[in-house]
Chain A
Amino acid sequence: MRALIALAILVGLGGIKLPIEHDLTALHRQEHFRDVEFNLDLREKLGQLGFVAALSGFRAIVADALFIRAHVAWERTEWGRILLLFRHITTLQPRVLLFWDTAAWHMAWNASVAAMNDPTQPRLALRVKAQREYFALGKDFLEQGIKNNPDRPQLYEALARLYKEKYKDHQRASEFYAKAAALPDAPTFDRRFSAYELAYCEGREREAYERLRSLYDEGPQERLPTLIARLKSLEDKLTIPQDQRIPDKGPIGR
């Protein structure tokens, strides 16, 4: 009898606690907690034990264990396995930047080079195709990472590096450095790097010059060797009048 009364009280109080729990869940989502959706897809990816562990509050530990496995797979150059493991890891811990960044680095830098130097594939066209596919996988990891962490500059920087070094797309690189620079806690070099990349874009030299010049005018702390070199190169290219050019031996703020 007592148990039945307790059950009835529990159901009654359940009605009171539901909106409180719902409100707290919404608050958690708003502040980027509980970003992981525990669904059948994740269950299939992780296996039963991993899924149960992740479900019961050991998500970080499961992700770390998978990260170690991914490292072992890297030592064995098992690129397909690395891709699979990093997909699981980033699903479990979407707010850890290291996982997104490492996943993209493995794909776009390591696997792509391995694909290009694959001795079992004699056809260059197919090796280049495989390389481009790994670039795309790296880019995809970074784009997904940015979607999950839009407020942190590191992945924007990583994507800018990828555009610069792998796709040789300086315009996109400049754009992503600028996006990183616009975020709070962004390192000061992001603004400079964005302008450096813009300086390589055909037809945007004037804009790049103005941005570099504006950085130069901010003071000695911005007058770094690369900035001065790029600025001088643009002054020559744009035939800037002598009286408007920066001095030959400008002070270097270091």
Chain B
Amino acid sequence: MACVYFIGHLQATAREYWLQEHSSGLLTRIFLAIVALLFPDLQAFNLVDDIVAGTAISMTVFAKTALLGIFYTTIYTLLAAFVFYGKEL
């Protein structure tokens, strides 16, 4: 779980690198693609550092971030339910 948490915070870096950088090797690009596609971007929710600095959050940012949160929660919960459905715990 802790690894997913840290990878989630790095996902944005991996995604940006994957989408912009074209000179890296094939293996690196595959690795970056896996990180970008499978993991959620947890940095998107990390707004507290800027809020304490006095940066105001616009309604657009709030709404889009909330929608992304709902999207992640729905998808990952449904997939978890699908994988664990019928398993004897």
Query: Which chain A residues have a beta carbon within 8 Å of chain B's beta carbons?
Result: 2-3, 5-7, 9-11, 13-15, 17-18, 20-25, 27-28, 31-35, 38, 52, 55-57, 59-60, 93, 95-97
Q: Is B52 an interface residue (CB 8 A)?
A: yes
| Contact partner, A93, options B11, B19, B40, B53, Cβ 8 Å | B53
Whether the Cβ atoms of B36 and A14 lie closer than 8 Å is yes
Main secondary structure of the interface of B (DSSP, over half): helix
Whether the Cβ atoms of B10 and A55 lie closer than 8 Å is yes
Which A residues touch B71, using CB under 8 A?
17, 20
Whether the Cβ atoms of A32 and B50 lie closer than 8 Å is yes
Assembly CA distance A9 to B61 (angstroms):
27
- Name the CB-closest residue of B to A52: B6
Tally of chain B residues near chain A (CB < 8 A)? 40
Main secondary structure of the interface of A (DSSP, over half): helix
1/0 contact string of B33-73 vs chain A (CB within 8 Å): 00011101111101111101111011011001100100100
| Contact partner, B6, options A7, A27, A32, A56, Cβ 8 Å | A56
| Contact partner, B82, options A6, A21, A33, A93, Cβ 8 Å | A6
| Contact partner, A31, options B15, B19, B61, Cβ 8 Å | B61
Q: A17-B71, A31-B61, A56-B9 are in contact. Are A10 and B79 (CB under 8 A)?
A: yes
Q: Is B26 an interface residue (CB 8 A)?
A: no
The 10 closest A-B pairs by CB, nearest first: A14-B37, A95-B53, A59-B49, A60-B49, A96-B53, A21-B41, A57-B46, A6-B79, A33-B50, A6-B83
- Provide a sorted-by-A list of 5 A–B residue pairs whose CB atoms are within 8 angstroms: A2-B82, A21-B11, A38-B13, A55-B10, A97-B54
Other A-B pairs, 7, CB within 8 Å; known A21-B12, A27-B60: A7-B38, A25-B15, A31-B57, A32-B50, A33-B50, A55-B10, A57-B48
1/0 contact string of B10-35 vs chain A (CB within 8 Å): 11110110010000000000000000
Which A residues touch B60, using CB under 8 A?
27
Which B residues touch A38, using CB under 8 A?
10, 13
| Contact partner, B44, options A2, A18, A25, A96, Cβ 8 Å | A25
